[in-house]
């Protein structure tokens, strides 16, 4: 029964608070690594405690339940995704250049994750028939990302880079499909060249929705079986 920290907490209390935050961040890091490999459902307080050389109750002190841990991992994943994919693309010029940058960073991110797996994509399959707060947190993050892309598409329309009648949800659906196919072919079938296929597909989609003809793509191969 400790009293809540006073606004002007003493140095000792501050240090202990910082220490607690550091431990929490370290556990979260380990949990993110574990979930990337075994899936969110593979997360267990016990396995984490082993990894961190902590007691189970020590881990429980930071995350009150397995569900809370899973939701924290989803939020952490989302924060990194935003940092790596979304934020840097905001420096690219509005319109098609920014949309391209977002897609290219998305491809790079999924390609990097081939050996671990994307929590959004794997989580969608893990939780598609498990209603509850974990599924809701995951869906919220995925929808937030999709809305950001739809906004980028809408801006490209406003900028005159894409046709007036471009429907952002439809274009996003098609682009998202390329990312899912990339994840499937590269990770499950272990087929090389999936990122190039996704890029070629993207150029074709952009070519269709663009007002001007798309520049020739160098990634599309003409070789036939």
Q: Which residues of this protein are in contact with a second copy, per CB under 8 A?
A: 37, 117, 121-122, 124-129, 139, 142-143, 150, 154, 165, 167-170, 173-174, 176-181, 184-185, 187-189, 194, 197-198, 200-201, 204-205, 207-208, 220-225
What residues pair up with 56 in beta bridges, in sequence order? none
Complex with a second copy: residue 1 or 189, whichever CB lies closer: 189
- Tallying the residues shown for the chain, one arrives at 225
Residue 28 near residue 73 (C-beta atoms within 8 A)? yes
For the CB of residue 68, give the shortest distance to a second copy in the complex, in Å: 21
For the CB of residue 138, give the shortest distance to a second copy in the complex, in Å: 8
> Measured between alpha carbons, how far is 77 from 54 in angstroms, rounded to an integer?
23
The structure tokens 């952002």 sit at 168
Q: Phi and psi at residue 203, in whole multiples of 5°?
A: -65, -35
Complex with a second copy: residue 41 or 92, whichever CB lies closer: 41
Complex with a second copy: residue 62 or 187, whichever CB lies closer: 187
Complex with a second copy: residue 95 or 168, whichever CB lies closer: 168
Q: Which of 150, 148, 149 is CA-nearest to residue 168?
A: 150
> Measured between alpha carbons, how far is 10 from 33 in angstroms, rounded to an integer?
35
Joined together, the tokens standing for residue 146 give 């999709």
For the CB of residue 4, give the shortest distance to a second copy in the complex, in Å: 39
For the CB of residue 190, give the shortest distance to a second copy in the complex, in Å: 8
Complex with a second copy: residue 54 or 119, whichever CB lies closer: 119
Residue 41 near residue 128 (C-beta atoms within 8 A)? no
For the CB of residue 93, give the shortest distance to a second copy in the complex, in Å: 23
> Measured between alpha carbons, how far is 31 from 49 in angstroms, rounded to an integer?
10
């Amino acid at each position: 029964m400790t009293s809540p920290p006073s606004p002007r907490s003493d140095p000792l209390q501050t240090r202990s608070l910082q220490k607690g935050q550091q431990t929490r961040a370290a556990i979260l890091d380990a949990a993110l690594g574990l979930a990337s490999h075994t899936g969110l459902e593979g997360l267990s307080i016990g396995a984490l405690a082993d990894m961190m050389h902590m007691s189970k109750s020590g881990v429980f002190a930071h995350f009150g339940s397995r569900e809370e841990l899973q939701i924290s991992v989803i939020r952490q994943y989302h924060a990194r995704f935003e940092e790596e994919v979304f934020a840097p693309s905001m420096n690219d010029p509005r319109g098609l250049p920014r949309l391209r940058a977002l897609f290219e960073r998305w491809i790079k991110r999924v390609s990097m994750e081939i050996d671990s797996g994307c929590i959004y994509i794997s989580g969608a399959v893990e939780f598609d028939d498990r209603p509850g707060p974990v599924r809701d947190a995951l869906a919220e993050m995925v929808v937030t990302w999709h809305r950001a892309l739809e906004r980028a598409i809408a801006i490209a329309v406003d900028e005159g880079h894409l046709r007036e009648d471009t429907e952002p949800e439809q274009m996003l659906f098609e682009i998202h499909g390329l990312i899912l196919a990339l994840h499937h072919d590269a990770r499950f079938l272990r087929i090389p060249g999936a990122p190039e296929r996704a890029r070629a597909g993207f150029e074709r989609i952009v070519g269709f929705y663009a007002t001007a003809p798309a520049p020739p793509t160098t990634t599309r191969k003409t070789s036939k079986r």
